[in-house]
Amino acid sequence: MKVLLVNPRTDLLIRSELPGHVGKELGHFPPLGLLYLAAYVRQGGRHQVQVLDMSARDVSLAGLADTVLSERPDLVGLTCITHNLASVKAAADVVKRAAPATRICIGGPHVRQFPEESMALDFVDFAVCGEGEVPFLELLDALQDGRSLDGMRSVGYKQDGRSLAATVPAVTTDIEGLPFPARDLVDRKDYFYILGNRATFATILSSRGCPFHCTFCATPHGAYRARSARSVVDEMVQCRDAGAEEIHFIDDTFNIRKSRLAEVSREILDRSVRLKWSFRGRADGVDDEGMALAARAGCTRFHVGVETGTDHGMEVLRKGVDVAQVRNAVRLARKHGIVSAAYFIIGCPHEKSRDDVLETIRFAVRLNPDFALFNILAIYPGTELFEEAVKKGMLAGDFWHGFARSPDPEFRIPLWEEHLDRFELERLLRTAYRRFYWRPGPILRNLRSVAGPGDLLRKAQAALSILLGRR
């Protein structure tokens, strides 16, 4: 079978809680999920697969139609994350108009959260639920052989006028046995990151799953699996040999164990792999030894989720860390010359007044990481906060299900407005960025980090958006 895997455009993304250019200019990352799928399908040896990243390549819907007409794929796979459901629908409608016989399969986090609603969408023929490599290839093989799909519990499909949703999300237990993503199917020059140091980079996923239970997070809990340090560095070497100069680890949490940072760093040092790299981790998952080894091994940046500025707030959000651990993590990064990027959320349930939010902003300024990114707390489906909002009467129980059944690009992500309304939260978000970045220290740091004219333009656009309050 001929398969075209598509990352849709972002024009119809439902409104983000980030202001203006801040979200848009953070960057484009490779569609790693699609590249994993492509590699696994290709390894099977029975099907042809291509990847089209409409977002990174700025491919219009008309361009997608042209691609479908010229390539004539038997099946088009679309990655779906709820935020982009309206974009997925627009892309699927174009595919069906251009080639009505082409079948559409969607996959991604949205399907796991809304399996029945996914299959009820008129443009969907199949929906893969959970980690898609194994069930997607099984689907393709069954279609190629003309076999029934009965018994595929992680694949939804339509039969005799009925929509049969997937019943069990797929989980790949042996992630180390998966082939590395098929990065050759995209152009690495299409991707950038505003916090990055170099023009070419690759993203790596060294683990899957998350064992923590933060109340605001919709990431599926449990089933945490980590690859060995050797496997991780093997992939770093492959990326380096393909031209990457920097690696961004995009695990939900890279350092579940404190020892993991040291293990990967030692493997890099033992093999003399010269690459810059960054990771996303927990404040309680770093220590002096690990950060020292990471710095020697080429780590340049540490992304840490702080969220709020008080111990009480962290307890409410079930972060499992405290303010002292956050301060220590940023201190260790600075001590070893590693750039720190801290993430904050404003408008949390414990912030009952404007001054409560300002306390988080003041904490961010006192903490003084190299970069700070602020969001407004959004209420996502499948989170404990969503259930609490329903109990309080703030949202209807089927609030998100309505959007999943009928995606509308004008839909607005709900915020926690029990104490502060959307207007006030958006104003405080702009205040957070202004108070943090319009200081001499951050301005000088950002000027020193500019990698060239293009990078300067992107950062200037984001800065002007914050200053002028544009969305």
The predicted-structure confidence for 272-308, as pLDDT tens digits, reads as follows: 999 999 999 999 999 999 999 999 999 999 999 999 9
Question: What's the CA gap between 208 and 224, in Å, rounded?
Answer: 6
Q: Are residues 132 and 209 in the same domain?
A: no
- Pairing state of beta strands 201-204 and 246-249? parallel
Q: Are residues 277 and 201 in the same domain?
A: yes
Mean pLDDT, rounded, of the chain: 91
Q: How many CA atoms lie within 13 A of 385 on its CB side?
A: 22
- Pairing state of beta strands 126-128 and 103-107? parallel
Dihedral (C-alpha) 101, 105, 110, 111: value to the nearest 10 degrees?
Answer: 110
Question: Containing H/E element for 264?
Answer: helix 258-270
Q: Are residues 229 and 340 in the same domain?
A: yes
Q: Which of 164, 183, 204 is the last residue of a domain?
A: 164
* Angstrom distances, CA of residue 98 to CA of 71, 80, 87, 150, 201: 11, 21, 17, 30, 35
Largest pairwise CA distance in the chain: 66
Question: What's the CA gap between 306 and 76, in Å, rounded?
Answer: 39
Confidence bin at 27 (pLDDT 50/70/90): confident
Q: Are residues 31 and 101 in the same domain?
A: yes
- Domain membership of residue 390 (yes or no) is no
Higher pLDDT: 96 or 468? It is: 96
For the stretch 218-223, contacts whose Cβ atoms lie closer than 8 Å and that sit 24 or more positions apart, written own/partner, are 218/109, 218/113, 218/380, 218/381, 218/382, 218/383, 219/252, 220/112, 220/169, 223/171
Strand partners, 378: 415
**Which structural domain range is residue 329 located in?**
195-378+415-468
Instruction: Report the pLDDT averaged over residues 171-188.
Output: 96
Q: Are residues 133 and 219 in the same domain?
A: no
- Domain membership of residue 187 (yes or no) is no
Phi and psi of 287, rounded to 5°?
-140, 175
- Domain membership of residue 132 (yes or no) is yes
For residue 109, the domain's CATH number is 3.40.50.280
Question: What's the CA gap between 398 and 141, in Å, rounded?
Answer: 36
- Domain membership of residue 384 (yes or no) is no
Paired tokens of 156: 């939804």
Which pLDDT score, from 0 to 100, does residue 444 have? 66
Q: Which of 164, 183, 213 is the last residue of a domain?
A: 164
Higher pLDDT: 151 or 65? It is: 65
Give the type of residue at 238: Q
Q: Are residues 120 and 253 in the same domain?
A: no
Which pLDDT score, from 0 to 100, does residue 197 have? 62
Phi and psi of 27, rounded to 5°?
140, 175
Instruction: Report the pLDDT averaged over residues 444-467.
Output: 54
- Domain membership of residue 180 (yes or no) is no
For residue 429, the domain's CATH number is 3.80.30.20
Which pLDDT score, from 0 to 100, does residue 440 have? 78
Higher pLDDT: 447 or 219? It is: 219
Q: How many CA atoms lie within 13 A of 53 on its CB side?
A: 21
% of the chain at pLDDT higher than 70: 90
The residue assigned the tokens 């001590």 is 335
pLDDT in tens, 231-243: 999 999 999 999 9
Confidence bin at 16 (pLDDT 50/70/90): low
Q: For the chain, what is the domain count?
A: 2
Question: What's the CA gap between 171 and 164, in Å, rounded?
Answer: 20
Closest to 105 measured CA to CA, from 11, 113, 96, 306: 96
Which pLDDT score, from 0 to 100, does residue 471 have? 42
Q: How many CA atoms lie within 13 A of 345 on its CB side?
A: 23
- Pairing state of beta strands 201-204 and 27-28? unpaired
Instruction: Report the pLDDT averaged over residues 255-268.
Output: 95
Higher pLDDT: 454 or 157? It is: 157
Instruction: Report the pLDDT averaged over residues 36-56.
Output: 97
Asked if 14 contacts 413 with a C-beta cutoff of 8 angstroms, the reply is yes
Q: Which of 164, 181, 206 is the last residue of a domain?
A: 164
